[in-house]
Structure 1
Amino acid sequence: MGKRQVVIGMLGTQLDAGTGPGRWEKWRPTVALAMYEDLLVDRLELISDERRYAAMAECVAQDIVQTSPETAVRRHDMHLADPWDFETVYATLHDFLRGYDFQPDDEDYYVHITTGSHVAQICWFLLAESRHFPGRLLQTSPPRKQGVGGGDAGYYSIIDLDLSRYDAIAQRFAQQSLEDRALLKSGIATLNPAFNTMIEQIETVATRSKAPMLLMGPTGAGKSQLAKRVFELKKLKHQLPGRFVEVNCATLRGDGAMSTLFGHIRGAYTGATSDRAGLLRSAHQGLLFLDEIGELGQDEQAMLLRALEEKRFFPAGGDKEVESDFQLIAGTNRDLQDAVDQGRFREDLLARLNLWTYHLPGLAQRLEDIEPNLDFELERWSSEQRQRVTFNKEARQRYMSFATGGEARWAGNFRDLSASVMRMATLATAGRIQLDLVDEEIERLRRQWRVVQAPSVLHGLVEDEAALDMFDRVQLETVIEVCRRSKTLSAAGRELFAASRAQRSSTNDADRIRKYLARFGIDWASIPARDLPAVRPA
């Protein structure tokens, strides 16, 4: 035996009206519930205002029993002082459901949303969607022609708010999510799995949360660009009506830092000749991106924490609080936990920022994404300059071989790539980047990275650094660093071989290091000391 079918519905004071014989020629949605051949209603819970509509409710109940003797009708008195007041209607229906004895193991429940005010229909929807009502929505509609022969129940449909049941809707949501993620990636078809997984979560968080977000990563990894894309995504979904406001905290110093962020009143300090709103107020109902947040001073950190928690703060020199409700995204290329340990960053502020933290990898960690970003930058340049520029086949192969090889440092990450493409596109002849132009650009990048990067600890000690395998390089650099801070070979050996020397019957740590260095043509005396006046061989 199947479950009993139970419908909860409100009396339609207009649609269900009628007392004479002519009422049977009229479509009455509540009575029609008992007339569908493929929907047997075992019980109808009829809600009405018995003070005003008792006679109508009694007539509807009798007509239902006459139409479907198997249907039991239970009437519930519900008085709504104002059926168009959302708060009152929701609270009343909520209390009704809370006191109802639901038996989902034995009964299936539906709420009839055709009758009742529009406010009541919205409330039923919200109560069903939030599972306060453990059932589905039932919607009825009149026949195409009323009054012809009478007795036509019209049509009904059942709405299940589990959207995963609807393939078309599920596909639409999935497609929308893909489009949202593409927006966050600037439309670039990135291939790095870790980066794509991160973007997928950011897309979810961005549309569901207003909490601060912390973007970590090296300079040029795309933190600012991603923050702008998060803002654009939220703007498209009508979640942020305000502006996108960006500031690099490394540029803020002294009184100017407090004024730039929190504003000031006239006369707050020398030069403050008029009131200033400040960036936090400019970002009201928008998104504030504070890049390099680790550079903020302690006072600014304290003020920012209060602004995040209470949505209000004092402008510099002011004694009256101002309000600003903004969403914060912070960026940093530092380890903020180290800054906390060193007393340079507030632990409570980091805790507030650390709910959603994402590490953006540098370009060197996303080699598979160089090619799609190369195409993106080239297309962007062509669009901005209204001039189509492309690589020839050999030139593109040469550039990609260098860009993804071990020689390319990408010290400035995506900024380096963008600048590189801009140079080649600008110098291209007749819209084609040829092999000679690529070779010129590669040499320019080599020179740039040699200047930008600090010299390797192996510089001047190994004749051909480039010939070293990465395994040998990492190990040798560690040994050289220990030797630089040790006064003797024996002292360096004691540190390097601390674990294994206890297992040997005799030790000659100095000799072990001397032989290891000799493999690479390095003599102990040639290694420069670090912060020591002289180095003597053991």
Structure 2
Amino acid sequence: MRNVVIGFLGTQLDMGKRRRWRPTVDLCRTEGFPVDRLELIHDHKFNRLAHSVKRDIEEASPETEVLLHRMDMDDPWDLEEVYTKLFDFASDYGFDEDRERYHIHLTTGTHVGQICWFLLSESRHIPAALIQTGPPRGGDDVGTFDLIDLDLSRYDALQQRFDQQTREYGDLLKGGIKTRNVAYNRLIDRIEQVAGLSDAPILLQGESGTGKSELAQRIYELKLQRRRVKGRLVHVNCATLRGGTANATLFGQRRSFTGQAGTERAGLLREADGGVLFLDEIDALGLEEQALLLHAIEAGQYYPLGSDAEVTSRFQVIAGASGDLSAMVSEGVFRIDLLTRLNLWTFHLPALRDRPEDFEVNLRHELAQAEKTLGIRVGFNSDASEAWLRFASAPGTLWPGNFRDFSGAILRLCTLAPRGRITRAQVVDEIATLERRWRAADTDQNSQLVAKYVNGPVDPFDIPQLANVLHTCQTSATISEAGRRLFAVSREDRKSRNDADRLRKYLAKFDLSWAELNDG
């Protein structure tokens, strides 16, 4: 294949006044590296020198074809101008990699030109290796010649180092837990890629207890390592922002607003300047706060409470939500413009029950955490470990609290373990405790939902069924849709399939109507 070299004319070095070494001419005489074609770029002010260098190359290396390219620069130290003109040159060139090998001569030209050559080569806009030449050393007659190929796939050691670093970043995001769930590992790989390259907001969605807060902390640590942020991580629990103090907590307030000493506040957004603002449970934030927050995120400026002057705070955003934000937009309780701003990168964290492969590794992790907390060594008896993992991964074990339930259970087992060994009897007791708590919580939620709509007592037998009906009505667009969902099985055995009428009659037993539920 033919060797093609592209480079700038050396307006000082190629004159050869200071020393006999002329980099462009000597490059074409390099032993073992024949230059079949030289593309020499020059400004019109150095047209005479360019033709002189061309003649000298043709005399010293007759087999080298020299093509001169005039490229006038208003300011050769202006990065934008130089890059634009070299980019246009590359776009119009017509590279033929099947027949020619391309190289860029870095030795000549300004430092700005060298930076632009590097960027164009690294991005493969110019599919070329880099050449750096130097004057002869000591008593040598031949100058130095170094070839640098930026195609990292050709450097096994470098590629292995990058792969290792990627694994380290993934381990950081997973908290050092060697997870086995394919979908979760793929999710972490995507988050690592986005967090390391983008400053755009990240939205973490998932059930309560799936680890959104812990993952946000690790994303921040990754950004810190990758030098994408310098400031701190500020954790905001949006569920606690209620009433008149919400705006002051977020945006701060001036002392003059109340006239009382000690009432001035910097605000959480100011504390997040240069760092990351983690908006935990953002689905619990009020509409007024949502509007103010959107402006602060987009503009990087906002007004503290009682202030006539805007404050500037630049921060990256991670938001966490347990609820369905799209459904909340439809219900009018979440702003669509804020959701649009947040969901450029949305990641759905799977529930614990959807990661059965990871129960064993998470068990080891929680044991280690419990040992640090308690300051003792704890282990499972083999039959106890089998019983626990069988229960944990069973299809009927839903883990409604996800990792909060799981880690709490392990901590209780470790605390009560006789002589540092968890027994099967303990596991049986803990399983009974969890199931009892889950039933109570489920019953309590159903009772609260029924009490919201029904005045008067309801038989305990009817509460779970009525709660299911109410929930279905709340999440259906029409009464017909709700009826189809509720009577999907029994309707097949009926001659009349008027599901809406059946639902109306059921609701009437409790003095309820579709309109009442739909408005609520």
TM range (shorter): 0.7 to 0.9
CA distance in 1, matches of 2:85, 2:396: 70
Structure-2 change in CA distance of 1:132 and 1:362 (3 Å): closer
Shift of 1:122: 1.6
Q: In structure 2, what is the Cα distance between the partners aligned to 1:192 and 1:299?
A: 40
Q: Name the % identity.
A: 45
- Residues 3-36 of structure 1: CA distance to partner in whole angstroms, max 9, x if unpaired? 562432341735x56459x83xx5x432331123
Q: Aligned partners of 2:86 and 2:244: how far apart in 1?
A: 59
3-state secondary structure, aligned to 1:453: helix
Deviation at 1:287, TM superposition (A): 1.0
Which residue of 240, 245, 253 maps to 2:242? Answer: 253
Q: In the alignment, is residue 400 of structure 1 matched against residue 383 of structure 2?
A: no
Corresponding residue of 1:238: 227
| 1:39 counterpart = 2:29 | no
Distance change (3 Å), C-alpha of 1:339 and 1:326: same
Residues 461 and 250 of structure 1, relative CA distance in 2, 3 Å threshold: closer
Flag the 1:530–1:365 CA change in 2: closer, same or farther, 3 A.
Answer: farther
8 Å Cα contact 2:11-2:46 kept in structure 1: no
Find the aligned partners of 2:328 and 2:184 in 1 and give their Cα distance: 26
In structure 1, distance between residues paired with 2:147 and 2:206 = 52
Post-superposition offset of 1:250 = 0.8
Alignment deviations for residues 164-203 of structure 1 (CA, whole Å, 9 cap, x no partner):
3433333322222222111111111112222222112111
Is it true that 1:180 corresponds to 2:172 in the alignment? no
Match for residue 348 of structure 1 among 328, 337, 340 = 337
Contact 1:8 1:112 in 2 (8 A): yes
The equivalent position to 1:147 in structure 2, one of 129, 136, 139, is 139
Find out whether 1:195 has 2:194 as its counterpart. no
The 3 A distance-change label for structure 1 pair 411 and 246 is: same
Aligned 8 A contact 1:9 1:44 in 2: no
Distance of 1:378 and 1:496 partners within structure 2: 45
Letter in 2 for 1:163: L
Q: Distance in 2 between matches of 1:500 and 1:78?
A: 79
Paired residue secondary structure (1:358): strand
1:304 CA drift (Å): 1.0
Residue pair 2:131, 2:145 contacting (<8 A) in 1 also:
no
In structure 1, what is the Cα distance between the partners aligned to 2:488 and 2:4?
Answer: 79
**What's 1:280 paired with?**
269
CA apart distance, 1:263: 1.1
Say if 2:378 and 2:422, in contact at 8 Å, map to a contact too: yes
Q: Partner of 1:104 in structure 2?
A: 95
Matched with 1:470 is: none
Q: Would the alpha carbon gap of residues 379 and 496 (structure 1) be closer, same or farther in structure 2, given more than 3 Å must change?
A: closer
Q: Determine the structure 2 residue equivalent to 1:71.
A: 64
Residue 401 of structure 1: how far off its partner (Å): 1.9
Inter-partner Cα distance in structure 2 for 1:19 and 1:313: 61
How far off is 1:52 after superposition? 8.1
Kept in 2: contact 1:286–1:326 (CA 8 A): yes
Higher share in helix: 2
In the TM superposition, residue 40 of structure 1 has moved relative to its aligned partner by: 2.4
- Does the 8 A contact of 2:491 with 2:497 survive in 1? no
1:414 aligns with 2:403: yes
1:433 corresponding residue in structure 2? 422
1:231 CA drift (Å): 0.6
Give the TM-score normalised by the residue count of structure 2.
0.80
Per-residue Cα deviation, 1:248-295 (whole angstroms, up to 9, x for no partner): 111111121111111111243586844312111111121111111111
With over 3 angstroms needed to count, the CA separation of the structure-2 counterparts of 1:95 and 1:241, relative to structure 1, is same
Measure the CA separation in 1 of the matches of 2:286 and 2:443: 28
Whole-Å separation in 2 of the counterparts to 1:305 and 1:358: 20
Spell out the pairing of 1:113-512 with structure 2 (5 A cutoff): 113-141=106-134, 145-148=137-140, 150=141, 152-159=142-149, 161-269=150-258, 273-406=262-395, 408-454=397-443, 500=492
Distance across 1 between alignment mates of 2:139 and 2:350:
71
> Which residue number corresponds to residue 92 of structure 1?
82
In 2, Cα distance between the equivalents of 1:93 and 1:404?
A: 58
Aligned partners of 1:61 and 1:73 also within 8 Å: yes
SS at 2:366 equivalent: helix
| Contact 1:35–1:153, Cα closer than 8 Å, also in 2 | no
Root mean square deviation of aligned Cα: 3.9
Give the deviation of 1:320 after TM superposition.
1.0
Deviates more, 1:337-346 or 1:444-453: 444-453
The separation in 2 between residues aligned to 1:442 and 1:498, in whole angstroms, is 35
Q: Which has the larger radius of gyration?
A: 1
Quickly say closer, same or farther: Cα 1:39–1:357, change in 2 above 3 A: same
Aligned counterpart, 1:531: 510
Q: Provide the TM-score with structure 1 as the length reference.
A: 0.77
Separation of aligned partners in 1, 2:490 and 2:437: 40
Name the CA distance, whole Å, in 1 between partners of 2:402 and 2:259: 41
In structure 2, runs of 5+ residues without a counterpart are 448-458, 474-482, 513-520
Cα deviation for residue 363 of structure 1 reads 1.4
Matched letter for residue 430 of structure 1: R
1:107-142 superposed Cα distances (whole Å, 9 cap, x missing partner) = 654221123343332222123334554533223355
Cα pair distance change 1:348/1:228, threshold 3 Å: same
Indicate conservation of the 8 Å contact 2:253/2:266, yes or no.
yes
State the AA in 1 paired with 2:93: F
Distance 1:136-1:498 versus aligned 2 partners, 3 A rule: same
How far apart are 1:74 and its partner, in Å?
4.7
* Structure 1: gaps (5+ residues): 463-472, 483-490, 514-526, 534-538
Q: Compute the displacement of 1:447 (Å).
A: 2.6
